[in-house]
Amino acid sequence: MKPFIDVHSHILPGVEDIGCASKEEALVMLKLYEDDGVEAVICTPHFGIHGIRGANVSEAFSWIQSVDSPVKRYLGQQVLLTRYTLQDARRGIAKTMAGSNQILVDYEEGVFYSASADILDGMKMLAESEYIPILAQPEKYPGLQQYPDICRQIVDAGARLQINVGNVFCDNVKICDTVRFLLENRLVSYVGSNAHNPEEMKQMDDGLKWIYDHCPQEYADAVVHDNAIRIING
């Protein structure tokens, strides 16, 4: 098993109303990453929703970078997809993943309950630009749970999918089944924890083990580590 690279983490303290609550909590999360042998984490605070007004993401990232730890840290954001996303990315307001041309996106809450075609159209729109969109946690959208083959069309359009590792074993059967479908059909490019606090990191090891137990090793290595390294290395 290759060391995990977490591409979706809310470890930065004090920049989101639902994210890591304090520097002390962030230090606990960073130590858990270290103890679990995690190689790197891309810090992805929300952009466009849940952000705390006036919070300085760059300042929070500089602080966590200053902490002594073998876990490498990079900056990205979980960007709410709107008609302004391209403009915000081009201006550097919305952060891409580790300075690459890939951008982690999701939709406002209402779209969770709308047609999966809306999600497909949004991914196509962004994929036609200079950016490669990564759809965060597709397993949580009811439209994609009902029609998971739409995810194949999203990938064929040039987008990529990132699943939450803890959802391999979550209590929601539809979410769990969708994650496993996406993995078993090799539609996933990246795995993240989506951890907002230490409690949400507990299922990382079990989720990673399931991936290695149920997927070919080459594919498991790719989604757990190798694809993320390509983001980091540009």
Query: Do 44 and 76 meet the contact criterion of CB atoms below 8 Å apart?
Result: yes
Query: Do 160 and 102 meet the contact criterion of CB atoms below 8 Å apart?
Result: yes
Residue 220 CA to chain centroid, in angstroms? 16
Residue indicated by tokens 């949580």:
140
Task: Locate 52 and state its tokens.
Answer: 């705390």
Diameter of the chain by CA atoms? Answer: 46
Q: Is 217 exposed, middle or buried (0-12, 13-18, 19+ CB in 10 A)?
A: exposed
- The confidence score (pLDDT) of residue 44 equals 96
Question: Which residues lie closer than 8 Å to 16 by C-beta, 6 or more apart?
Answer: 10, 45, 46, 50, 51, 52, 55, 196
* Digitized pLDDT (tens) for each residue of the chain, 234 residues in all: 899 999 999 999 988 877 788 999 999 999 999 999 999 999 999 997 655 444 688 999 999 999 999 999 999 999 988 888 899 999 998 999 999 999 999 987 655 555 577 788 889 999 999 999 999 999 998 888 988 899 999 999 999 999 999 999 888 999 999 999 999 999 999 999 999 999 999 889 999 999 999 999 999 999 999 999 999 997
Cβ neighbours, 10 Å, residue 50: 16
Task: Locate 161 and state its tokens.
Answer: 């999918």
- The confidence score (pLDDT) of residue 119 equals 84
Cβ neighbours, 10 Å, residue 25: 17
- The confidence score (pLDDT) of residue 54 equals 45
Radius of gyration of the chain (CA): 16
Number of domains in the chain: 1
Query: Do 188 and 182 meet the contact criterion of CB atoms below 8 Å apart?
Result: yes
| Range(s) of the domain holding residue 26 | 5-233
Distances (CA, A) of 92 to 22, 34, 101, 130: 26, 30, 12, 14
- The confidence score (pLDDT) of residue 121 equals 86
Distances (CA, A) of 62 to 5, 18, 58, 65: 20, 20, 6, 5
Task: Locate 17 and state its tokens.
Answer: 């109303």
**Which amino acid is it at 212?**
Y
**Which amino acid is it at 13?**
P
Query: Do 39 and 6 meet the contact criterion of CB atoms below 8 Å apart?
Result: no
Which CATH number is 143's domain given? 3.20.20.140
